[in-house]
Structure 1
Amino acid sequence: ASFANILASRGYNLIITGRRKEKIQKLANELSKKYNIKIDVIIAELSNEKDIKDIVKYISKTKNIDTLINNAGYSIYKNFSDSAVAENENMISVHILAVIKIINAVLPKMIRQGYGNIINVSSLGANIFANDAPIPLVAPVIIAILFNLFS
């Protein structure tokens, strides 16, 4: 919400995604009214392949995208060794695969435009070493490596 508020206050039109419809719609309504901007809302669960495809499809129909902020994430708050494979697959989907797929959809558009910004938000946990590191701690490293390959 902080990023959306800052960008809205500067006159940016926004596309906001989130999984909690009421919360996202409320934010969109408040910012749209306060700053007189256009805000589109996409309700999506980033561990769901269909929802990611819906976001990518929407991006493909959008004329220009100035800035992409990847700010989704969650943690399961237990040691990696105590977590189920399905939990880790969901975290990989949200922290890594969704980010890559959305960047892949936005980047060609930004290159064609001749401008654009991509901001990948992490947590402080990404800077803390853990002997039994769960996915959120390694995901920013993987994203940084992949992003640097394409820079």
Structure 2
Amino acid sequence: MPTAMVTGATAGIGLSFAHKLAARGFDLVVVARDETRLDAVAAEVRSTHGVGVEVIPADLATDTARVEERLRGSAVDLLVNNAGYTLRKPFLANDIDDEERMLNVLVRAVLRLTHAALPGMIERGRGAVINVSSVAAWVPRGTYSAAKAWVTAFTEGLAPQLAGTGVQVMALAPGYTRTEFHERARMNMTSLPSWLWLDADSLVDSALRDLRRGRAVSVPGPVYKVAAATIPRLPRRLVTALGHRQLGKRRR
């Protein structure tokens, strides 16, 4: 059986990836901070899909070493760098240590885990990395969107370096998705129209289709495909102003 590693696997997009990949016959290595929730997810996936599930509890803000070691050890055929979160307050209202912890998860962990995974994949002549970004990458709104812009650019820049190796990398850039992400950040999403929400399971199905098609960037949903194509063509001052306005409306 092939093996997939999913970070941030206890909820939302990461949990959907865990179930969808297990249903496709992947054994799993699941990574998250909360060991209790991680064990519960592992038990659920084993029971539902009959696959092997290895658990690595780790806070990727401070501890990537064990995860990197696992990636350099037994074969991992697919790495999904999904772990992430945002901060509710604007940059100057946050403690700088909190901003740095977020960057560690969104950027440093993606960098280090991708670097740990790829050599083995290249040696075996197969494998893939999905780095979960966001459509926020195209809208300047502070540290989170800057980090996601890095993830998208990093992944797109890496893709041609892997040509001919049998290994793929893809950035997944979803829009608003029904998960606990916004609730955790205490963001008020009640005014967001229903047509802007994505379903995590459908999003993951779309991402896996795009991976099979060899795409370097996957943007699920027609609304967000249009947004990703249009936003870079708009005046930057307009995009920045719209992003700032939307962010202000979501804070409680």
TM-score, normalised to structure 2, is: 0.55
How far residue 19 of structure 1 moved from its aligned partner, in angstroms, is 0.5
Q: Work out the CA distance in 2 between the residues paired with 1:106 and 1:5.
A: 21
Asked whether the equivalents of residues 80 and 129 of structure 2 are also in contact (C-alpha less than 8 Å), the reply is: yes
Q: Which residue is 1:90 aligned to?
A: 101
C-alpha distance in 2, partners of 1:66/1:60? 12
- The residue that corresponds to 2:32 in the other structure is 18
Would you say 1:147 and 2:155 are equivalent positions?
yes
Query: Which TM-score applies when normalising by structure 1?
Result: 0.89
- SS of residue in 1 equivalent to 2:64: helix
CA RMSD of aligned residues (A): 1.4
* Greater relative contact order structure (CA < 8 Å, 6+ sep): 1
Letter paired with 2:158 = F
Report the secondary structure of 1:77's partner residue: coil
Per mean C-alpha deviation after superposition, the further-off stretch among 1-10 and 139-148 is 139-148
CA deviation string 1:84-143 (max 9, x = no partner): 21111101100000110000000111111111111111234334333xx1x211112112
**Corresponding residue SS for 1:99:** helix
- Where 2:59 maps in the other structure, the secondary structure is coil
- Number of residue pairs matched by the alignment: 145
Structure 2 match to 1:27: 41
Q: Distance in 1 between matches of 2:140 and 2:111?
A: 24
**In 2: Cα distance, 1:94 partner to 1:114 partner:** 28
Distance 1:68 1:39, change over 3 A: same
Name 1:54's counterpart in structure 2.
66
Structure 2 counterpart of 1:81, which letter? L
SS at match of 2:140: coil
Q: Map 1:95-106 to 2 at 5 A.
A: 95-106=106-117
Query: Which range moves more in the overlay, 105-114 or 135-144?
Result: 135-144
Which residues of 2 match residues 62-141 of structure 1 at below 5 A? Answer: 62=74, 64-130=75-141, 133=142, 135-141=143-149
Alpha-carbon distance between aligned partners in 1 of 2:126 and 2:92, rounded to the nearest angstrom: 43
**Runs of 4+ with >4 A deviation:** none
Say which SS state the counterpart of residue 37 (structure 1) adopts. coil
